[in-house]
């Protein structure tokens, strides 16, 4: 256990050094973290994967809370709503395409049964929020595309788990379908209410009681952690609740001004919130850096190399190709609705990292009768490889996209924000 803490400290220092290397070379520190995780876990067993089994969900969850809080507060609300509209449509179509394309590939070419194929298609539909945010902030891409990919990764948690729940419901006898639909509605509606109410209450407390304290960030982090946990206990989406909370917190002065229903005194009062958010944003940058790199480090540790067979490798790569095809077709269809996405279709299709939600979905599905015995192993390998593919995208500074009739090289020397 103590060796694990030493290694964790070393991992953080390596991520900082890797960040400096990134400044010079464009090589993201996430690659170092995965390699270090592989060395610490499956290659040397310095940190046995089993020793993390009880803590992985907690570590990933608190990391996700930190990332969503930062992303929401930093997002301009009008851009957010526009991106949400396109992202929700994109996410839904990707889900349908993944079930159709990935499900068909694994059913006809790899001989999985119908139930396993449908579930694998659902699992293939969802990108992972942590690596997506990490990577898009390192690419010189338009804000609309960046927000599309971030919100898609957030909505994936809802669509993937909803589709999975319905599928398990269908293949599990004696369950109430009406009760399932009710629970799914609660899963989306309740977090919107909880997130909005908590944001308004916390704004009041920040301005009235926390104005002269230096503990604004840690207090806000505590609030969103409680919000997440309570929403999940009430069978709602904790991530959606945090997203609503953080977007409202970061944009309330603008909302008040544009609405035309608030007095000047109230608007002036809310504008003081901007000063409070400066302190929060300053601290959360480093917290976010730690959370994102910890994700890649642990992902390397928990990868069980000994379980990988040639059949699992071929199946995983076949699915990854199907995921890319599904995303490319969907991005092309979306560009018909919003032409500004046309020049970034390839980038959108290649932003395909899987993570915690996909892994969780595979474990939840493994208890269903007649499910493929290799579903979990295929999913875990797919998580590793898709993240490496996404890292590869960030490494390539020669990807060019047509922008306003001229070539636009992705700016990999862009902002250092993580």
- DSSP letter string over 290-320? HHHHHHHHHHHHH--GGG--HHHHHHHHHHH
Return the ∠ at Cα 369 (arms to 368 and 370), rounded to 5°: 115
Residuewise pLDDT in 10s, the chain (418 residues): 565 567 667 767 777 776 776 666 556 666 677 788 888 888 888 877 777 766 666 777 777 788 778 777 777 777 677 778 888 899 999 999 999 999 999 999 988 988 889 989 998 988 887 778 777 877 777 888 888 898 888 787 777 877 877 777 666 655 566 676 777 778 788 999 999 999 989 887 877 776 655 677 788 889 999 999 999 898 888 888 988 898 888 887 777 777 666 667 766 766 666 666 665 666 666 776 777 677 777 777 877 777 788 988 999 999 999 999 999 999 999 999 888 888 889 989 988 888 767 776 777 676 666 677 788 788 878 888 888 888 777 776 444 433 334 444 333 333 333 3
CATH architecture observed for domain 2-47+55-409: Up-down Bundle (1.20)
H helix runs in 26-176, sequence order: 29-38, 56-73, 77-108, 114-123, 129-136, 143-171
Dig out the tokens for 81 from the structure: 């709503």
Distances (CA, A) of 67 to 124, 201, 281, 364, 390: 23, 22, 12, 25, 18
**Could you tell me which of 303, 325, 301 has the C-alpha nearest to residue 312?**
303
- Alpha carbon of residue 171 to chain centroid: 28
Distant-in-sequence, close-in-space partners of 47: CB < 8 Å, separation ≥ 6: 3, 4, 7, 40, 41, 301
> Which sequence spans correspond to the domains of the chain?
2-47+55-409
Output the pLDDT for position 219.
Answer: 83
Q: How far apart are CA 155 and CA 139, in angstroms?
A: 22
Please provide the distance, in angstroms rounded to a whole number, between the alpha carbons at the two ends of the chain. 29
Asked if 250 contacts 83 with a C-beta cutoff of 8 angstroms, the reply is: no
Contact at 8 Å (CB) between 124 and 321?
A: no
**pTM to 2 decimal places:** 0.68
Q: Which residue has the tokens 């070539």?
A: 407
Q: Which of 103, 146, 98 is nearest to 126 (CA)?
A: 98
Question: What's the pLDDT score for residue 195?
Answer: 93
pLDDT digits (tens, 9 = 90+) for 290-325: 776 777 777 778 777 777 889 889 999 999 999 999
């Amino acid at each position: 256990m103590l060796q694990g803490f030493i290694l964790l400290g070393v991992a953080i220092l390596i991520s900082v050094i890797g960040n400096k290397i990134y400044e010079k070379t464009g090589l993201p520190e996430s690659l170092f973290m995965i390699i270090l995780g592989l060395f610490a876990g499956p290659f040397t067993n310095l940190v046995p994967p089993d020793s993390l089994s009880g803590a992985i969900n907690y570590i990933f969850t608190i990391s996700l809370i930190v990332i969503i809080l930062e992303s929401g507060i930093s997002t301009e609300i009008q851009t957010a709503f526009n991106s949400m509209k396109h992202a929700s449509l994109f996410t839904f179509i990707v889900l349908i395409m993944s079930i159709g394309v990935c499900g068909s590939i694994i059913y006809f070419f790899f001989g999985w049964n119908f139930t396993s194929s449908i579930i694998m298609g659902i699992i293939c539909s969802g990108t992972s929020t942590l690596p997506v945010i990490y990577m898009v902030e390192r690419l010189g891409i338009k804000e609309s595309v960046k927000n599309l990919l971030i919100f898609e990764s957030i909505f994936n948690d809802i669509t993937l788990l909803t589709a999975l729940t319905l599928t398990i419901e269908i293949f599990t006898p004696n369950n109430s379908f009406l009760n399932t639909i009710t629970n799914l509605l609660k899963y989306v509606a309740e977090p919107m209410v909880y997130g909005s109410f908590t944001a308004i209450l916390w704004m009041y407390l920040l301005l009235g009681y926390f104005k002269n304290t230096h503990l604004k960030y840690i207090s806000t982090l505590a609030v969103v952690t409680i919000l997440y946990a309570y929403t999940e206990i009430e069978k709602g989406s904790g991530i959606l609740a945090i997203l609503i909370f953080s977007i409202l917190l970061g944009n309330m002065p603008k909302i008040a001004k544009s609405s035309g229903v608030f007095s000047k005194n109230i608007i002036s009062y809310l504008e003081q919130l901007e000063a409070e958010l400066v302190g929060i944003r300053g601290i959360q940058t480093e917290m976010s850096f730690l959370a994102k790199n910890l994700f890649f480090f642990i992902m390397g540790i928990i990868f069980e190399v000994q379980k990988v067979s040639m059949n699992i490798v071929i199946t995983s790569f076949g699915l990854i190709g199907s995921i890319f095809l599904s995303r490319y077709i969907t991005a092309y269809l979306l560009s018909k609705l919003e032409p500004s996405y046309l020049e970034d279709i390839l980038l959108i299709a290649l932003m395909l990292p899987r993570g915690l939600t996909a892994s969780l979905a595979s474990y939840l599905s493994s208890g269903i009768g007649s499910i493929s015995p290799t579903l979990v192993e295929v999913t875990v390998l797919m998580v590793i490889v898709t993240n490496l593919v996404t890292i590869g995208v960030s490494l390539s500074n020669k990807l060019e996209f047509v922008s306003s009739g001229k070539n636009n090289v992705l700016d990999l020397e862009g902002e250092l924000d993580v």
